[in-house]
Structure 1
Amino acid sequence: MAKIVAFRGLRYNLQKITDPNLVVAPPYDVITPDLQEDLYRRDPHNMVRLILGRINPKDTESDNRYSRAADEFDQWLAEGMLVRDAQPSIYLYDQEYPLEEGEMVVRQGFLALTRLEDFSSGMIKPHEKTLTVAKADRLNLIRACAANLSPVFTIYSDPCCVLEALTRKERERAPDLAVADDDGVRHRLWQVTDPSLIAKAQCLIENKPLFIADGHHSYESAIGYRDEMREKHPDFSGKELFNYVLMYFSNMEDKGMRIFPTHRLLCGLEGFDPTALLVGLSEFFHIEQVQIAASSRAGRRQVREKLKERGRHGHVLAFYCGGDTLHYLELKDDALMDRFFEEKSPRTLRTLDVCVLHRLILEELLHLDPEVQESRAYLKYVRDIDEPFEAVLAGEAQAAFLMNPPCLSEVRDVANAGEKMPQKSTYFYPKLLSGLVINPIFEGESVDDFPMC
């Protein structure tokens, strides 16, 4: 069973931070270079300086983005910009945002520490492949700062919504922190120190499998750090803080839970011929060529809605390579995917839209093997429906593949089968902010140092 514990989180000192909206940041992997610079300008204590510091041309092994993050972190602690809560706590964390139709919804969850488990235990389950470079980056950051600066996002299933009911009264009081991000999502945080409520949350989660929704790289890096620390401390008890990781938990039955699609851009592929590709695609797909208003926001949204509608009845992608012409690709027969998977592979994985793209189109027809795909030498990933069209029209991409997102049941089924989707298969929304709560991994401390009152 997963082991959940309360902890003494580090948080911004609101007596010294004039506007908390200016110091929080989105996850490191959605921060563009332009946004990074903007976050740097907002406040000298913005979290971007820790989670995604600038890279300088003169960086060395001893002076780099990680060492500078550690120096900033230590300085903020010394200045009292970050203060540690006195009592072991869990932290309720809600995110309110509008759906496309205008309805406001709230995704509820909470933050706590979770004992790190190898995936082989089956207690915590990934659903997505990770990238070696990204894991090394996050591991270097943990080594430098000895802290979980951002939470790993996990989901669990509870159709009865027990924890939501138990914490309703806590959420009725004013939040301890309320901020809004650049997308207009409202983030609210409540510190909970009530031992009975914490115990109920522990019992609920410890009886359920956990599925990593976001933060695969951070979780695997935390395991790597744990293993390094265990070698350094061979007499470890298992209760040291390096055996735990900061985690956010949310119920997959929550009506505020959404997955957005991640579209693929093809860039810089030598000899790419869209006409020849369409000929190859015709063997596997029913292809419908349509005229669209590619430079119009309204036209692009019509494509998104049409793709969503077609996806309810089969496996459909859209292929765009310029002008006002778009091709919808509908897989002729699910059995066509059998040749690209081992016989034991689950049906859910074989027929995922993202696997159809990566295995059949990218690997089989465009000859981009998995290693090349992982290197991102020819692929870029974007979320907004405008970006694929803008990139192709501007000549920044050769073509774009537009996707529907997987549904939660597919994520669950793939993870339960012990399989993984291609990288960047899911985009859970809203993203968790960095800077609400930090978990410091102080040597010499253990979870036994956080007794409940």
Structure 2
Amino acid sequence: MAVIKPFAAIRPGEEKAAKIAALPYDVYSRTEAKEIVAKHPESFLKIDRAEIQLEDSVDMYDKRVYQKAHDTLWEMVEKGTFIREEKPCYYLYELSMNGKVQTGVVACASIDDYESGIIKKHENTLAEKEVDRINHVDICNAQTGPIFLAYRANLVINQIIEEVKQEKSVYDFVTEDDVRHRVWVISEEHQITTLENAFAGIREIYIADGHHRAASAVKVGCKRRQEHSSYNGTEEFNYFLSVLFPDKQLSIMAYNRVVKDLNGMTEEAFLRKVSEIFEVLPLGKERKKPEEKGCFSMYLGEKWYACRMKSEDIPDNPVYALDVSVLQEKLLAPVLNIADPKTDKRIDFVGGIRGMEELERRCKTDCKVAFAMYPTSIEELFAVADAGLLMPPKSTWFEPKLRSGLFIHALERE
């Protein structure tokens, strides 16, 4: 059963939250992060990407970067920019975008649940990406970016959430991307106990987004255990910062594909190949998103095509039945010779938030063909994780993105 516990967050004062909240560290390049902080000096990016406070000659993975992040964070705590919660609490974090609302419980999840498989993964992690966040968490002595977790909706948890949301929120602001963010503190003992018991009855928790942050947090926790041989499991380093959302509220956007060449074929020859593999309907200039699983739209030669996968080509396997897998196995690998989309420089991935216009733009600049996919569903994600399998790279794009800097989980008291 899942251990999802309250914690005493370090968080911005009410008047500072909107100025501090920042998109995840890996959304920006170093140059972009520097530009954001130049415009918004209190942005949490100056902690999450502390290299922007140092000379450009300093490597972003230099130990001085992580020390600068540590010093900036704890100076802001010392000055009162961040406040320490007086007791362990849960928090609600609501995000509203385009009329859709999702509300998560901010809490700490157990590194033991991660290692035992109660918290389930659907992606592999890269060691070099982990090292950066391991150093950041360990040297900052805090987790600063929450892991996006999902669970199957629970009536008791839903009731507590609705009850708390009748109260006044502590944060309420709209970010530049038109996402509204609201936060409530859950400090009543009976609500805390009810939530903790309700989560204890949930058998599976899923990582929706943040696999590298989760793996890094767990490795830091295990390192701290080795350093504290008399640990008893209650120490904060045994847990990692999370926001848990019910599956019914989550929507996954498409993760589209663009390819830079046609593997030596003309557009006409490539279109004939595609038509042999899939059912293809010309759309001309009409942009039409795929409307159901098993369908995708293709942009080739400044024209759109609606494509449908053949049922006999969709296997009874939670990974290989994914639309992105069928496209890879039936077209990208055998026809375009893209054997490994993780390493092949000829393919690129475009988040659905950028729209189909971005696919057209790419095909008019550096690519020859684009594929607009139907989004992977949360049920498909759960099925892959339940089977102990892994999704292909770039299978899911979650929006809106959780902001960093609103909740900080200290591993040990400074």
Q: TM-score normalized by structure 1?
A: 0.82
Q: How does 1:198-217 map to 2 (within 5 A)?
A: 198-208=192-202, 209-217=204-212
Change (3 A) 1:442 1:184: same
Instruction: Give distance in 2, aligned partners of 1:319 and 1:130.
Output: 30
Name the counterpart of 2:376.
406
Alignment pair present for 1:329 and 2:310: no
Shift of 1:228: 2.4
- SS of the aligned residue for 1:108 comes to strand
- SS of the aligned residue for 1:364 comes to coil
Shift of 1:112: 0.7
Instruction: Give distance in 2, aligned partners of 1:211 and 1:168.
Output: 23
Shift of 1:319: 2.1
- SS of the aligned residue for 2:194 comes to helix
| Aligned counterpart in structure 2 of residue 164 of structure 1, from 158, 161, 171 | 158
Percent identical = 26
Q: How does 1:97-246 map to 2 (within 5 A)?
A: 97-98=97-98, 104-117=99-112, 121-158=116-153, 161-208=155-202, 209-246=204-241
Shift of 1:79: 2.3
**Residue 267 of structure 1 contacts residue 380 of structure 1 at CA under 8 Å; is this kept in 2?**
no
- SS of the aligned residue for 2:334 comes to helix
Name the counterpart of 1:387.
358
**Residue 298 of structure 2 contacts residue 304 of structure 2 at CA under 8 Å; is this kept in 1?**
yes
Work out the number of aligned pairs and report it.
Answer: 408
Provide Cα deviations, 1:218-274, integer angstroms capped at 9, x if missing partner.
1111122223223333443222222210111111123xx221111122247875765
Q: How does 1:69-80 map to 2 (within 5 A)?
A: 69-80=69-80
Shift of 1:120: 5.9
Q: TM-score normalized by structure 2?
A: 0.89
Instruction: Give distance in 1, aligned partners of 2:263 and 2:217.
Output: 38
Residue identity opposite 1:110 in structure 2: V
Shift of 1:374: 4.7
Name the counterpart of 1:451.
none
**Residue 258 of structure 2 contacts residue 350 of structure 2 at CA under 8 Å; is this kept in 1?**
yes
Instruction: Give distance in 2, aligned partners of 1:281 and 1:268.
Output: 15
Instruction: Give distance in 2, aligned partners of 1:151 and 1:406.
Output: 23
Instruction: Give distance in 2, aligned partners of 1:189 and 1:232.
Output: 35
**Residue 147 of structure 1 contacts residue 440 of structure 1 at CA under 8 Å; is this kept in 2?**
yes
Alignment pair present for 1:47 and 2:44: yes
Unaligned runs of 5+ in 2: none
How well do the aligned residues superpose, as a CA RMSD in angstroms? 2.7
Change (3 A) 1:66 1:157: same
**Residue 262 of structure 2 contacts residue 336 of structure 2 at CA under 8 Å; is this kept in 1?**
no
Name the counterpart of 1:319.
298
Provide Cα deviations, 1:113-143, integer angstroms capped at 9, x if missing partner.
1111365623111223444443333223212
Shift of 1:433: 1.4
| Aligned counterpart in structure 2 of residue 348 of structure 1, from 308, 315, 318 | 318
Change (3 A) 1:7 1:337: same
Shift of 1:85: 0.9
Name the counterpart of 2:66.
66
Change (3 A) 1:337 1:168: closer
Provide Cα deviations, 1:387-437, integer angstroms capped at 9, x if missing partner.
2112222x1333322111112221221111111211221122222111211
Residue identity opposite 1:432 in structure 2: L
Residue identity opposite 1:48 in structure 2: L
Instruction: Give distance in 1, aligned partners of 2:268 and 2:26.
Output: 34
Residue identity opposite 1:389 in structure 2: E
Name the counterpart of 2:398.
428
**Residue 263 of structure 2 contacts residue 336 of structure 2 at CA under 8 Å; is this kept in 1?**
no
Instruction: Give distance in 1, aligned partners of 2:127 and 2:41.
Output: 31
- SS of the aligned residue for 2:75 comes to helix
Instruction: Give distance in 2, aligned partners of 1:5 and 1:51.
Output: 25
Name the counterpart of 1:4.
4
Q: Which moved more, 1:181-190 or 1:280-289?
A: 280-289
Shift of 1:376: 5.9
Change (3 A) 1:12 1:211: same
Q: How does 1:266-281 map to 2 (within 5 A)?
A: 266-267=259-260, 274-281=267-274
Unaligned runs of 5+ in 1: 99-103, 293-298, 339-345, 445-453
Shift of 1:282: 3.6
Change (3 A) 1:270 1:242: farther
**Residue 349 of structure 1 contacts residue 355 of structure 1 at CA under 8 Å; is this kept in 2?**
yes
Shift of 1:64: 5.1
